[in-house]
Amino acid sequence: MKIIKSIISIAILSLAGMALRGQNASPAIVAGIGCGDLTLGASRNSIEVALGQGECVQKMNGSYLLNYASKGPQFSFLKGADKVQAIFFYNRARRFEQFASFKGKTALGIDWNSPVDQVIKAYGKPIGDISGKNSGGTYRRLVFKGIDFLYEDGRMVRISLFNDKTSSQSNKSS
């Protein structure tokens, strides 16, 4: 009887997974790793194979950005290495309104509607909690190992992924 229940459970889970894939469910954002095939440490070529050619934007400090505004993500690369050092997902953030919003959640169930207390409950005590005001309004950035969340005027507008090597650099304000 236990074997039959196990087989039925596996079948139900398989059908649910197939149904989600059929609904174009987005892969989960995983702290310090990535989102599906879009991973930290991936080559620029592998990102372009997955998403096509992005818009390259020069940035200071030895890195550059590759934008996929219509698809949602933005990637930061070290010049010369051409390996992803950070991934940014936007949700109508100031100065980044042109980026499509990611339709999905983090591996811990956090999405664009999650309030600060839910993020802290899911990820624990932040290693950085930066807040303030700028010309656009208020902001708050919660930094955890491998992931951070930016709020503007109380609304989550960005999820960033990074590895431990870039986390100290990413602890700057928005």
pLDDT tens digits for range 35-79: 999 999 999 999 999 999 999 987 778 889 999 999 999 999 988
What's residue 136's pLDDT? 83
Q: What are phi and psi of 30, to 5 degrees?
A: -115, 125
pLDDT > 50? residue 20 = no
Other residues' Cβ atoms within 10 Å of the Cβ of residue 55: 11
The total domain count for the chain is 1
Say whether pLDDT at 4 is over 60: no
Q: Summarize pLDDT for 128-146 with one digit per residue, the tens.
A: 999 999 888 999 999 999 9
- The predicted pLDDT at position 165 comes to 59
Q: Is the pLDDT of residue 167 over 90?
A: no
Q: Which domain holds residue 61?
A: 2-171
DSSP per residue, 102-133: P-S-BTTS--TT--HHHHHHHH-S-SEEEEEE
Residue 94 has pLDDT above 50, yes or no: yes
Residue 3: helix, strand or coil by DSSP?
helix
pLDDT attached to residue 12: 32
pLDDT score for 161: 97
When pLDDT is averaged across residues 101-117 and rounded to a whole number, the result is 95
| Residue 100: exposure state from Cβ atoms within 10 A (0-12, 13-18, ≥19) | middle
Average pLDDT of the chain, as a whole number: 83
pTM for the predicted model, two decimal places: 0.80
Give the pLDDT confidence score for residue 62 in this predicted structure.
83
